[in-house]
Amino acid sequence: MKYCNLFIISLIIVSISILPAYSQKSDLKDILNESLNFSAKQYAMLGAEMLKRPDSLPRTISMAGKLIVVDSRWWTSGFFPGSLWYLYEFTKDPELKALAQAMTNRVEREKLTTNNHDVGFMINCSFGNGLRLTNQNSYYDVIITAAKSLSTRFNPKIGLIKSWNQFKSFKYPVIIDNMMNLELLMRAFKFTGDSMFYHIAVSHADNTIINHFRPDHSSFHVVCFDTLSGRPLAKLTAQGAADESAWARGQAWGLYGFTMMYRETKIDSYLNQARLIADFMINHPNMPEDKIPYWDFNAPDIPQAKRDASAGAIMASALLELQQYVDKKTGKKYLKIAGKQLKSLSSPAYRAQPGQNGNFILMHSVGSIPGKSEVDVPLTYADYYFIEALMRYRRILGR
């Protein structure tokens, strides 16, 4: 069976055509298709490697270029299977579908995760995309079970889902990233009609607006709450340059999360919040010309500061959805920015060469500079949101 699987993957690699190399003068539609074809080839090779490693999923590469893998417990476990589902959607290749199913199955046990908020990332990106493309009945059950698990972390007094179990000396930290996990709850609400899921998601989004955002519409990374009074005790950072800085990926999480919540609820305050975040990011004086943010908008060593391709990919994907909910002039602006970001990410400055970069797609992402972890490396979530953005723009252009 192992050798059969490896043979299948080799056929995928051979069968996927690669269009001519990126050019600044290339038509955007050609760039999108070429990047998707390239991504499919890279991930077929990465998938072949993962088939040799039972119960493992890719995370990144070491400084020496060695593949680093994790099991399903790591918060990024759902991104690789989710990317495979998108690439199957693009290629219609049944072998990529089989690979997506196999990697998705490796994440299933996380439907019972109650000790962190990341079950939304884990399950929605993998099983959510799988369900969207296959309508497989068993995937419904996984998503609903996972949403129930996530709901156990909601405290009605605080009105927010607890992120980590502890941060420094605080026992109820909530991070801006948590906005991304609300889509799992909204999916479960649509499937079951159980208003509990809806009310938890809306409460979390409403209280995030109140507590996480500054007057300039940038976001704190971590807000820690008193479990007795429900009030915020401290506003800090874990991955940003400083407590008061605008950590780039955090701003992108907020942009994406509030855009998604507007889609699911049509509550105007969420659309307004998404627009305010988008304008903060787009108009920031430290946004580089190629529109791929520095890892923190207030990083002390700009312009030498590291870029974060993951922040650029998340931002592009969010803008491509947000543009359809706003007036025509604003929508064109968002579309133009996202298009520039995708051109930048598809260029040799950020996209790997074939067969390199551990067979990940994008280079130059940043996990945590303060934590000295995953600095200037490929990351599965950068690839996931890049692929998603490519697919979204492709649909806008009519394929």
pLDDT band, very low/low/confident/very high, at 7 (cuts 50, 70, 90) = very low
Give the total residue count for the chain.
399
Q: For the chain, what is the mean pLDDT?
A: 94
Asked whether residue 20 is assigned to any structural domain, the reply reads no
Amino acid letter for position 327: D
Summarised one tens digit per residue, pLDDT across range 218-273 is 999 999 999 999 999 999 999 999 999 999 999 999 999 999 999 999 999 999 99
Q: Which residue has the tokens 């067969």?
A: 355
State yes or no: is 290 an active-site residue. no
Residue 109 confidence (pLDDT) above 70: yes
pLDDT of residue 23: 44
E strands along the chain, which residues?
A: 57-61, 67-70, 154-155, 160-161, 173-175, 222-225, 232-236, 365-368, 373-377
Is 22 part of a structural domain of the chain?
no
The per-residue pLDDT for 17 is 38
Give the CATH number of the domain where residue 248 resides: 1.50.10.10
> What is the C-alpha R_g of the chain?
20
Q: Please report the pLDDT score of residue 5 as a whole number.
A: 54
Closest CA to 175 of 111, 257, 109, 114: 257
Decide: 261 and 270 in contact? Cβ < 8 Å: yes
The total domain count for the chain is 1
In the 8-state DSSP scheme, what is residue 306? P
Residue 21, in any domain of the structure: no
Catalytic residue among 27, 71, 141, 177: 177
Residue 4 confidence (pLDDT) above 60: no
Sign of CA dihedral 73, 74, 80, 85: positive
pLDDT of residue 399: 73
DSSP letter assigned to residue 357: G
Q: Let me know if residue 135 belongs to a domain.
A: yes
Q: Is residue 331 included in any domain, yes or no? A: yes
Q: Per-residue pLDDT tens for 53-62?
A: 999 999 999 9
Task: Kindly report, residue by residue over 116-150, the tens digit of the pLDDT.
Answer: 999 999 999 999 999 999 999 999 999 999 999 99
User: DSSP string covering 155-202, please?
Assistant: ETTTTEE--SS-BTTBS-EEEGGGGGGHHHHHHHHHHH--HHHHHHHH
Please confirm, yes or no, whether 71 is among the known catalytic residues.
no
Q: Report the C-alpha gap between 399 and 391 in whole angstroms.
A: 9
Catalytic residue, from 93, 118, 194, 383: name it.
Answer: 118
| Cα–Cα distance measured from residue 273 to residue 193, given in angstroms and rounded to the nearest whole number | 26
pLDDT at residue 14 in the model:
42
For residue 216, what are the domain limits? 2-13+27-396
Do residues 193 and 152 make contact, with C-beta atoms less than 8 angstroms apart?
A: no
Q: Look at residue 181 and tell me if it is in a domain.
A: yes
pLDDT category at 194 given cuts 50, 70, 90 is very high
Strands 222-225 and 173-175, by their bridges, are antiparallel
Checking if the pLDDT of 1 tops 70, the result is no
* pLDDT above 50: residue 20: no
